[in-house]
Amino acid sequence: RVCAGRAPSLSYQELKDFKKTNVLHIDVRERWEIDRFGKIPASINIPLGELVEALQMDPTEFKEQYNQQMPAKSDPVVFSCLAGTRSKQALAFAKSLGFS
C-alpha cells in the first residue's frame, strides 16, 4: 500500500503513473521484508524507525546513506509498506517535519 499527501491511498496503476513524474518513492518496510518480498523498482528503502532521522539529515549525508538526493520539503514523495499502516505513519511524520 502507498500513501501520498494529496491522496492517502494510491492504486498500483496510479503509483506507476505518478512515478513517471519527478517523485521520490520511499519504501518504509524493514530490510528483512525487502529481502523476503523484493524491492519495488525505483524506490529507496528507509525503514519507518529511521525515517524521522533520515528526513532531518544533512543532504550530503542523506545522499551517502541512501544513494539518492534528499527531497526538499516541497518535493513530491510517496511512501509504501506492506499493508498501508506504516506508510500512513510515514506520511504523518513527514508532514510533522514540514513536508507538504
Sequence-ordered list of residues with C-beta below 8 angstroms from that of 81, at least 6 positions apart, any chain: 1, 27, 28, 29, 48, 87, 90
Phi, psi of 70 (to 5 degrees): -70, 135
Active-site annotation holder among 81, 90, 91, 94: 81
Starting at the edge strand found earlier in the chain, the sheet holding 2-4 runs: 2-4, 77-80, 24-27, 43-45
In whole angstroms, what is the distance from residue 2 CA to residue 28 CA?
A: 10
* 3 given a catalytic annotation: no
Tell me the catalytic residues.
Answer: 81
